[in-house]
Amino acid sequence: MAEYQLTLARIVRVGQVTTHVTLDGWAQGQITVPVDTSSLMEISGLTQRQLSGARFDVTANTAAVVETDVNPHSWRL
């Protein structure tokens, strides 16, 4: 069952298409979750270069078993 909570997302690796983030509230921040880079750039107003190392507050499914079910959304700097 999904359990959406506010948590901290940390940008770990930024690529042209996919950015990898860790979420403090999911898998103890040890597993990366793929996110669309262009979406993050549009949401935040940051460039691809500026995304590196950025931190966001996000709502995510912290009860997810696999990264594809985490569904981070409502990104805020």
Instruction: Please write the tens of the pLDDT for every residue from 37-74.
Output: 999 999 999 999 999 999 999 999 999 999 999 999 99
Spatial distance between the Cα atoms of 20 and 33, rounded to a whole number of angstroms: 5
The CA distances from residue 20 to 4, 14, 65, in Å, are 19, 6, 17
CB atoms within 10 A of CB 34: 15
Domains in the chain: ranges and CATH: 4-76 (2.40.50)
* Nearest of 38, 39, 31, 35 to residue 62 by alpha carbon: 31
What is the structure's pLDDT at 47?
98
State the pLDDT at residue 28.
95
